[in-house]
């Protein structure tokens, strides 16, 4: 049996894709994951807001074998304990899931043996610095632009991207409302790692959209 491909360090990753239950539109999540991996995504997040645990398990079981075979990070949104149980390589948490829950360091998170890597969201410089101090493996910076995936959340604008480009000491990803029409602005502000949700998942050809986005990130 051949060994699984090795995952890239987060610092070497460029494009972060999503299998988001809000954008499935009855499509097979494993096919979407394959298109993202084939198109050049370095990470694929399983995101299922308000879904039952059984539905989250179903999505992970569809996506994880695809990403594992491709040497792509599978990231589970929100569900730390389930990520530990299922052996997902990385779990992404929001500020409210981590700091508001009383955690101060990634080592505070419980695990029964397997411990995933962890990414943290941030919406302002002080949150970014707190995430770095907590030991997050990467930090998300956003939402850069208004986005339907974060209704009611004010955009942090490109100013925050510029701040991260100047001050960050850990890998970070720009996220929120990024599409082909504004990607160059985000890159010009200093981002070298980009998260894209709807602009890829709503494209007629997910694989082609992934390849186009990936080809434009330095």
Domain ranges of the chain: 13-215
CATH number of the domain at 13-215, please? 3.20.20.70
* Greatest pairwise CA separation for the chain in angstroms: 49
Closest CA to 192 of 203, 201, 183, 180: 183
Q: Provide the b/e sequence for 125-138 (b: ≥16 CB within 10 Å).
A: bebbebbbebebbb
Instruction: Quote the pLDDT of residue 147.
Output: 77
- Give tens-digit pLDDT for 26-66: 999 999 999 999 999 999 999 999 899 999 999 999 999 99
- Give tens-digit pLDDT for 107-117: 999 987 899 99
The first and second tokens of residue 139, run together, are 């930090």
pLDDT one digit per residue (tens) for the chain, 218 residues:
456 789 999 999 999 999 999 999 999 999 999 999 999 999 999 999 989 999 999 999 999 999 999 999 999 999 999 999 999 999 999 999 999 999 999 999 998 789 999 999 999 999 999 999 999 999 999 999 987 666 667 899 999 999 999 999 999 999 999 999 999 999 999 999 999 999 999 999 999 999 999 999 99
Instruction: Quote the pLDDT of residue 149.
Output: 66
Q: Number of C-alpha atoms within 13 angstroms, CB side, residue 202?
A: 11
Task: Characterise 26 by phi-psi region: left (phi > 0), alpha (psi -120 to 50), beta (else).
Answer: left
**To 10 degrees, the CA torsion angle through 138, 143, 148, 154?**
140
The first and second tokens of residue 108, run together, are 């505070």
Beta bridge partners of 172: 139
- List the beta strands (DSSP E) in 79-208: 90-93, 117-122, 138-141, 172-174, 194-195
Model pTM? Answer: 0.95
CA 6/CA 44 separation, integer angstroms = 15
């Amino acid at each position: 049996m051949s060994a699984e491909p090795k995952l890239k360090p987060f610092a070497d990753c460029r494009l972060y894709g999503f299998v988001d239950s809000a954008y499935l539109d009855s499509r097979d999540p494993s096919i979407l994951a394959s298109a993202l991996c084939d198109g050049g995504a370095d990470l694929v997040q399983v995101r299922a807001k308000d879904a039952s645990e059984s539905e989250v398990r179903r999505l992970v079981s569809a996506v994880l074998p695809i990403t594992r075979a491709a040497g792509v990070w599978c990231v589970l949104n929100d569900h730390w304990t389930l990520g530990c149980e299922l052996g997902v390589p990385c779990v992404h948490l929001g500020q409210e899931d981590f700091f508001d829950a009383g955690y101060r360091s990634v080592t505070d998170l419980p695990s029964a043996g397997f411990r995933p890597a962890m990414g943290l969201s941030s919406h302002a410089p002080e949150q970014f610095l707190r995430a770095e101090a907590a030991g997050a493996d990467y930090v998300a910076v956003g939402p850069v632009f208004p986005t339907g995936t974060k209704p009611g959340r004010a955009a942090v604008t490109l100013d925050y991207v510029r701040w991260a480009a100047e001050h960050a000491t850990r890998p970070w990803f720009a996220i929120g409302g990024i599409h082909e029409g504004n990607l160059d602005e985000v890159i010009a502000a200093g981002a070298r790692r980009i998260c894209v949700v709807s602009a890829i998942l709503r494209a007629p050809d997910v694989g082609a959209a992934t390849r186009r986005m990936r080809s434009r990130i330095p």
